[in-house]
Amino acid sequence: EKLEADEYDIDKNLRSPICVVLGHVDTGKTLILDKIRKTRVQEGEAGGITQQIGATYFPIKSLQKLTNKVNKKHRYKHKLPGLLVIDTPGHETFTNLRSRGSNLCDVAILVVDIMHGIEPQTRESIDLLKKRKTPFVVALNKIDRLYDWNVTENMGFRDTFKNQKKHVQMEFQNRLNETILHFNQLGMNAELYFKNKSIKDTVSLVPTSAVTGEGIPDLLMYVVQLTQKYMIKKLTYLSTFQCTILEVKVIEGHGTTVDVILVNGKIHEGDRIITCGLNGPIDTTIRALLTPQPLKELRVKSEFIRHPVLHAAVGFKISAVGLENSIPGSEVFICGQRDDPEELKERAMKDLNSILNDVDTSGKGVYVQSSTLGSLEALLEFLKQMKIPVFGINIGPVHKKDVEKASVMLELKPEFGVVLAFDVTVTGEAREYAKEKGVQIFEAKIIYHLFDRFTEYMKEVKENKFRQFKDKLVFPVIMKILPKSCFNSKDPIILGVKICEGSLRVGTPICVSSKKNILLGKVVSIQLNKKSIQVAKVSDEVAIRIEGSHYMHGRHFEDDDTLVSHISRVSIDILKEHFQDEMTKKDWKIIIQLKKLFQIN
Ligand code: GDP
């Protein structure tokens, strides 16, 4: 395999680890990757760095040169054949990709802006990395932005730090401490990488600048060490085949193709492959394995090079018929002569099928769309925790037909007539159609942003509903008057009460239960411990103010009378139709009780 250098002391049994770069937007993820690639090119030759599909491959030769500045006497021996870095930085879904239950990515670089510390997306990335047990190192980026920073291009961090003035060093230390504190607040230890004595439970921070290249050699060196030290077992070259789809793309002249990362094993043109499709398993034969042309070869017409065979780890494109419905994040299986295709199909569909189990296509719920199998799974898990039902799912860009499906809900439960679009694009046609139909599309690249927006929207929907039915809405409540706590006996009646069953809301009309004709009026305010509240719950003792009748405490009702909400046929119907979510089983039992009292059929 020509991608691997033979002349180095590499362990032939190890494959190249796969690295992903992630972090909050604008922290410098893209620039760090660019810097690593360009430094080599600027310093004379590309050193065998190859642009692959969705990934850049750094062979050992270039890694050694890139880390020279912090490994001057070559005391540290590189054993790995190289490093495969996934190109689309920050793509949340790449961290979420799994193959055979383990991570697709062996190691991650989490970029944090030293001027900002931990930001929302940083937290989300950390959660993901922890969940997937992916080792990671933090690039504490943009050190050159510290006031008065003295630049020495591409220098190792410790050397350049020595050259800084005292006040710069102090500002650095302050910002470093703040970041460490942020990590502590998240329940993690963090330390400058060369001071970290306990890599297993302490996050290493490598100060970098993607603009000046300072600290970048340290960063690469650390990634190599981290993988060599702790991941040899995982990196031992297996003959078992392991391959995951990153993206599905239509390419002129090739039809629908899939971009994949081969983590383990090898793959040939003509192999029969089986993978997961949205409408069932895909069973096809590889027409071509493609990687991009090297940049220099401009004479060549075709955009891609064809390979008869490729070895892990490598990113490339598969061209084959029938890949239209394939799903990013799913595994590709090779079906050899001795394999049972039916069994492979079952395995290929397993993840999607288990996701579909959580979706109630006949029920009421939202429509969810996501970029990959992994991100869809994460989103559904989240919605389940938040008790938001889902009735439909899809993967890939939101098209008009998706909005059509979501719009079905407008009749069943209007507030669910929405699309939650996670990390996917929305076509213009879909957007127009959604506007026309009144289907809201919520878009976000971060799960909890999506969730925040949706909760905000549900809150609005709820408030509107309460406003709409304000005058006729009555929730069930049964209350006792507290002894000797009548503060005003006639309009406004002011009483201390205890909520025995149900809940009391401002606006509720109140009757005396034993004398059902006595309507005392409406509750205009509730106070709990001298603070105004909108809703009092079971066993709360509150002061209430009732306005709107001529009835008097002490004459028409007494301390031992029970007070109840004045329900009617109309109010019950409104609860049934619009406020099911607000009602518990207990509440409905109280309704039955009150129905008898008011002789409602
Ligand atoms: P991404 O969104 O994380 O991929 O961030 P980019 O790589 O696009 O960088 C965001 C902005 O920060 C760009 O304007 C970069 O030029 C700038 N930037 C990135 N890294 C550095 C750095 O180390 N130092 C300085 N001064 N600017 C940086």
- Asked if the model's pLDDT at residue 4 lies above 50, the reply is no
Which residues does residue 440 pair with via DSSP β-bridges, in sequence order? 418
Render 446-460 in DSSP notation, one character per residue.
SHHHHHHHHHHHHHH
Cβ atoms of 440 and 418 within 8 Å: the answer is yes
- Name beta bridge partners: 336: none
Q: What confidence tier does 12 reach under pLDDT thresholds 50, 70, 90? A: low
Backbone angles phi, psi at 471, to 5 degrees: -80, -20
Tokens of 533: 């509240």
- Report the SS3 class of residue 380: helix
Distance CA 408, CA 403 (A): 9
Q: Side chain identity at 84, as an amino acid letter?
A: L
Instruction: Give the list of residues 6+ apart from residue 450 with CB closer than 8 angstroms, or none.
Output: 379, 420, 421, 422, 442, 443, 444
Mean pLDDT for all residues in the chain: 87
Nearest Cα residue to 142 out of 208, 78, 193, 216? 208
Q: Give pLDDT tens digits for 363-393.
A: 889 999 998 887 788 788 888 887 889 999 9
Give the confidence band of 491 by pLDDT, cuts at 50, 70, 90: very high
Beta strands in 376-463 (DSSP E): 390-395, 418-422, 440-444
Convert 204-239 into a string of H (helix), E (strand) and C (coil). Answer: EEEECCCCCCCCHHHHHHHHHHHHHHHCHHHHECCC
For ligand 1, mutation pick of 20, 29, 31 (most atoms within 8 Å of CB): 31
Atom number of ligand 1 nearest to Cα 141:
23
What is the 177 CA–ligand 1 centroid distance (Å)?
22
**What residues form DSSP beta bridges with 206?**
139
Q: How far is the centre of ligand 1, averaged over its atoms, from the C-alpha of 26 (Å)?
A: 6
- Atom of ligand 1 at shortest distance to CA of 142? 23
Q: Which of the given ranges, 55-69, 91-105, 407-421, has the highest pLDDT on average? A: 407-421
Percent of the chain at pLDDT above 90? 54
Note the pLDDT of residue 9: 55
Give, rounded to a whole angstrom, the gap between the first and last alpha carbons of the chain. Answer: 82
For residue 158, report the distance from its CA to the centre of ligand 1, in Å.
22
Of the candidate ranges 208-217, 441-450, 557-566, the one whose mean pLDDT is the lowest: 441-450
The pLDDT of residue 402: 95
User: Torsion-angle region of residue 521: left (phi > 0), alpha (psi -120 to 50) or beta?
Assistant: left
Query: d(Cα 316, Cα 308) in Å, to the nearest integer?
Result: 12
pLDDT in tens, 256-310: 999 998 888 889 999 999 999 988 999 999 999 998 876 554 455 568 889 999 9
In a 3-state reduction of DSSP, which class is residue 440?
strand
pLDDT at 378: 79
The band of 134, judged by pLDDT with boundaries at 50, 70 and 90, is confident
| Structure tokens belonging to residue 16 | 């190249």
**pLDDT for res 48:** 66
Counting beta carbons within 10 angstroms of the beta carbon of residue 361, is it exposed (0 to 12), middle (13 to 18) or buried (19 or more)? exposed
CB 314 within 8 A of CB 266: no
pLDDT per residue over 560-590, tens digit each? 999 999 999 999 999 998 898 889 999 999 9
d(CA 427, CA 417) in angstroms, rounded, equals 18
| CA 504 – CA 533 distance, rounded (Å) | 10
H helices of 108-215, in order, are 120-131, 157-162, 166-185
Check residue 329 and give its pLDDT. Answer: 83
Side-chain-side CA neighbours of residue 288 (13 Å)? 14
How far is Cα 587 from Cα 575, in angstroms, rounded to an integer?
Answer: 11
Show the tokens assigned to 374: 């992994």
Helix, strand or coil, per DSSP, at residue 431: helix
Ligand 1 environment, Cβ below 6 A: 25-31, 89-90, 141-142, 144-145, 209-211
Are the CB atoms for 20 and 12 separated by under 8 Å? no
Structure tokens, 139: 């690039």
Higher pLDDT, 226 or 523: 523
By most ligand atoms within 8 Å of CB, the mutation choice from 25, 26, 116 for ligand 1 is 26
The ligand 1 atom nearest the CA atom of 31:
7
Pairing of strands 107-113, 18-23: parallel
Q: What is the mean pLDDT of residues 22-50?
A: 75
- pLDDT given at position 70: 86
Q: What are 504's strand-pairing partners?
A: 536
State how far the Cα of 563 lies from the Cα of 150, in Å rounded to an integer.
Answer: 77
